[in-house]
Structure 1
């Protein structure tokens, strides 16, 4: 399926297809196929989340210059699910790492840049540790999973979505992800409807419950210090899901690192400040900052 980015000639054409990636069928959103460098976008977690919801604006802009890949992780969206659900978070990580490497192999891509959001940041770090030769520059946006990451009230409520799932509750949860929910009301309304429909699929619920029943396994400081790739940390100062302290922790231990903080911004920098975010990561990948 082809999706046009609009009438603006500077917006990339986006395609969607299922790719055979070893144990999984991976649903892939792709923009800029044929460009010489690749960016792999990794989405976050939560009931009903999928890659398109996280990365549609970034695909539009970045696909003009880069081959941009935004897959649904196993257990999310339209990708398939593990036949046996992992018993811990590292088991899920092993599935996601294998899935992403299989995807790059299937597409014949030897090296890529990485952009992670929330859970996607943790997966990006695992990829850097296990397959460092496959990745170049890295952006981690709104990371959690660090020893100083606290379980916020907002995230705790999100974990309890399936106790009494309704579209109204989905919208309420999503309003906590942003700084100004009134300003982004049309965006939240549209996403809440789509994410609710996705979340209510039985296989999505089973995978979500399995993931949220497990605890994050922070990367040891000794391992963080061995990561050689350049890393750009991006965080909303007012993030109530994964607080900015998580990025400050990584800033303290990663070696080749810089950080950009947005005031009056929550957990969805790529949506709340989409134009600035896209310009920032493009300048970073283009070696302008």
Structure 2
């Protein structure tokens, strides 16, 4: 199995902490994590990194600025658009620092919205793109997402455990790991720097955050990369309708909907998810 390493690198004004496996492979995949409290690149992509590096991909998974072990601004940006500017710049600078001219992207949830903004701004850097349960399309803020983004209004281990349950369609799938996952995520989330960043990203009214992540339909129609949409049919956090919307506006799109699946496709359907993405990146679907 390929070793997964982690290190820090300067990306503009901030340091980025990132995981990497498969260094030296000719094709790269950059994985962008989602926005749950305590989320990190490792929490989202710990299974994908060894799998795809074994398939001869150079796999890179950064903690976004304001998450995990990447730098947390002492004076955080206000508003999700300012954070988006920071994240898009972070990823472009990371690719520059690693001398990667072009990469595939995999974006989960908020990471899907970031991937779309990267596609719009730097299409010459991007090859094929997978959007999993993506934000970046219009939808009515769900109760679950409002609670996730508003976690610090009443933070507790119990609230974290409930959030983790929402991520999985079948609670029994994670029941034996629930205490461990909740404990680790809660401890990560209660780091004062993580909390400061998160509260600056997701203040109320949170419907405005959803709306500010949306790209204009004309921008979506100009994207020429091959895009694979992957969504859980039973996702209560980012509804499957976001993928339906993107499928209607992106010119070169494929879509896979998993029944009996919530927001954690890469965990609930790990083997199928990995095989699907591999076929997509190898131009077999």
Range into which the TM-score falls when normalised by the shorter chain: over 0.9
TM-score (norm 1): 0.93
1:206 is aligned to 196
Alignment RMSD (CA, Å): 1.1
User: In 1, are the aligned partners of 2:173 and 2:268 still within 8 Å (CA)?
Assistant: no
Gaps of 5+ in 2: none
Shift of 1:21: 1.2
Most deviating of 210-219 and 25-34: 210-219
User: In 1, are the aligned partners of 2:79 and 2:202 still within 8 Å (CA)?
Assistant: no
2:58 is aligned to 67
Greater helix share, 1 or 2?
Answer: 2
Q: Which of 79, 84, 90 is residue 81 of structure 2 equivalent to?
A: 90
Q: Secondary structure at the match of 2:278?
A: helix
Shift of 1:196: 0.7
Q: How many residues align?
A: 278
Shift of 1:150: 1.9
Q: Which of 168, 175, 178 is residue 188 of structure 1 equivalent to?
A: 178
Q: Deviations over 1:115-158 (max 9, x none)?
A: 000000110011111111000000000012312x2211111222
Q: Deviations over 1:4-33 (max 9, x none)?
A: xxxxxxx32100111111111111111111
Q: Deviations over 1:55-109 (max 9, x none)?
A: 0111121111200001000000000023432222111110000100111111111
In 2, distance between residues paired with 1:191 and 1:200? Answer: 14
Shift of 1:178: 1.1
In 2, distance between residues paired with 1:159 and 1:225? Answer: 29
In 2, distance between residues paired with 1:144 and 1:28? Answer: 23
In 1, distance between residues paired with 2:12 and 2:180? Answer: 33
2:43 is the counterpart of 1:53:
yes
2:29 is the counterpart of 1:33:
no
In 1, distance between residues paired with 2:147 and 2:266? Answer: 23
1:230 is aligned to 226
Q: Secondary structure at the match of 2:163?
A: helix
Q: Secondary structure at the match of 1:176?
A: helix
Q: Which of 102, 125, 128 is residue 137 of structure 1 equivalent to?
A: 128
TM-score (norm 2): 0.95
User: In 1, are the aligned partners of 2:150 and 2:202 still within 8 Å (CA)?
Assistant: no
User: In 2, are the aligned partners of 1:53 and 1:191 still within 8 Å (CA)?
Assistant: no
Q: Deviations over 1:19-60 (max 9, x none)?
A: 111111111111111111000000000211111000011112
User: In 2, are the aligned partners of 1:150 and 1:242 still within 8 Å (CA)?
Assistant: no
User: In 1, are the aligned partners of 2:133 and 2:230 still within 8 Å (CA)?
Assistant: yes
In 2, distance between residues paired with 1:173 and 1:45? Answer: 12
